[in-house]
Amino acid sequence: MRVLAFLKKTFLENVREWKILILALTFAPFFVYLMYGYFEAAAPAYRLLVVNLDSADPSGARPSVDHARALIQAWRAAAHPDGRPVFAVTEVRDQAESEARIENRDADLLVVIPGGFSQSVADYRDRRSTKAARLVNRGDEGNLRASMAMAMSDFIAFGYVAMAAGLSSPLELDFRRVGSGRALSEFDLYVPALLVLAVIMVMFTAAASLIKEVDKGTMSRLILSKLSTAELLTAVSINQVLIGVAALALSLGAAMSVGYRTEGSFGAVLAVGALATLGVIALSVLVAAFLGSIYELLTVGCFPFFILMFFSESMMPLPKVTVCHMAGHAVYLNDVLPTSLAVRAFGRILNHGSGLADVWFELTGMFVLTAIYYAAGAALFTRRHCRAH
């Protein structure tokens, strides 16, 4: 009964503090739309400048096929599995001006097709010459996009010239699909981390539900009412899990409203989300044990929040630092955070159609970490703020 009474109290307080509640529920959906807009606005294609000098062949001999024009068309036709073009191809005439654009990073790569390119391909095909056709790449070595653009453009050029010259490949590749095979955009890959961001926001609301009892001096009344620390944490946890799952559902709904499609079960997502929320609440209890006022939560408490957000990969992917291997799974350094495991579980469920049985390792890790953090947080919170217990 004491748990239900305190649960009702905290629930009504969250409703009265509707501004904070709305912020917690809409923070992650806002970032879903923000990141979708960013990925849509960001240049998805490598900016490729092409100077075609093939028409300036001084020999005057023209083969039946304009291989330079066909190669440019091959670059234009290159596309990712989701249909996005690999290159934004622009034909230019002024090579000096184009190199200035490369230096200013207004373009990623400049390819010069020399005069006689088509004839060289034709001569090589007909065995009239053993001299290979030639392309000239000009790029900025300090620009990573230039290196990627050059690798992609060279790959397409090699493939086209080999086909045009009638050359067989010295290597046979056997591709066998692993996973769902669904084409994933950068935004699709980012959605699981954004869902975890919705859960992480519970850190503030959960910690505030505990700290304000200390800040207002009402903790002594709760002690006198014989409310144990376990009952206190149970009521707060139930209330915050409801908030976390609601924020998670809103964030997934926001992602789906802009075209995101999931392969997995919505129920599995909610189950993982509920467990991840419990993990964040456990960390919130640990944080609350060291804080004594709402002011401290809004200042000092921001530090563990950003640590949790950054190392859970909700902001950007991090290098994988392997600590060990357990049951055939790699354990990474940032897996000490249950939200890091949640990102991987969400990714496998949403983007690869896995079920709860497929993410048992992540679920087990989240459960163990949550139990450890709850035990440590409850002990410290009781010692610091509930001495009468």
Question: CATH number of the domain that 109 lies in?
Answer: 3.40.1710
Verify that 114 and 259 share a domain, yes or no. no
Q: What is the mean pLDDT of residues 287-306?
A: 85
Q: Kindly state whether residues 335 and 362 are assigned to the same domain.
A: yes
Expressed as residue numbers, the domain containing 99 is: 44-164
Four-point Cα dihedral 382, 383, 387, 389, nearest 10: 50
Same domain, 16 and 54: no
- In the numeric block, the tokens 């949640």 are attached to 342
Query: Whole-angstrom Cα distance, residue 79 to residue 309?
Result: 34
DSSP H or E stretch at residue 4:
helix 2-16
Domain identity same for 16 and 84? no
CA distance 252 to 257: 9
CB of 264 within 8 A of CB of 355? yes
CB-based contact 287:304 (threshold 8 Å): yes
Q: What is the DSSP letter of 334?
A: G
Record the tokens describing residue 7, joined without a space: 């649960």
Residue 83 predicted with pLDDT over 90 = no
Taking the CA of residue 375 as centre, how many other CA atoms within 13 Å lie in the half-sphere pointing to its CB? Answer: 6
Q: Residue 67: which residues within 8 A CB-CB, separation 6 or more?
A: 54, 117, 118, 121, 122, 133, 160, 161, 164
pLDDT for 19 equals: 81
78 in any annotated domain: yes
Tens digit of each residue's pLDDT (9 = 90 or more) over 233-277: 888 899 999 999 999 999 999 999 998 888 788 899 999 999 999
Which of the four pLDDT bands, split at 50, 70 and 90, describes residue 125?
Answer: confident
If asked whether residues 216 and 275 sit together in one domain, one would say yes
What percentage of residues in the chain have a pLDDT greater than 90? 28
3-state secondary structure of 316: coil
Q: Which of 366, 48, 71, 354 is nearest to 196 (CA)?
A: 366
pLDDT at 166 > cutoff 90: no
Q: Which pLDDT value is given to residue 389?
A: 42
DSSP symbols for 107-138: SSEEEEE-TTHHHHHHHHHTTS--PPP--EEE
Digit-coded pLDDT (tens) for 333-352: 989 999 999 999 999 999 88
Percentage of the chain beyond pLDDT 70 is 90
Q: How many domains does the chain have?
A: 2
Q: Residues 328, 185: one domain?
A: yes
Dist CA 252 CA 288 (whole Å): 29
Residues 157 and 194 in one domain: no
Mean pLDDT of 129-153: 86
Let me know whether 10 and 49 are in one domain: no
Q: What is the total residue count of the chain?
A: 389
Is residue 209 one of the residues assigned to a domain?
yes
pLDDT: which is higher, 36 or 129: 36
**Domain endpoint, select from 101, 135, 164:** 164
Residue 365 has pLDDT above 90, yes or no: yes
The string of pLDDT tens digits covering residues 307-336 is 888 888 877 777 888 888 888 888 999 899
pLDDT digits (tens, 9 = 90+) for 28-56: 899 899 888 887 766 568 899 999 988 64
15 and 160 in a single domain? The answer is no
Characterise 83 by phi-psi region: left (phi > 0), alpha (psi -120 to 50), beta (else). Answer: left
CB 138 within 8 Å of CB 110: yes
Pairing of strands 322-326, 329-332: antiparallel
pLDDT, one tens digit per residue, over 84-111 is 888 989 999 888 888 888 888 888 999 9
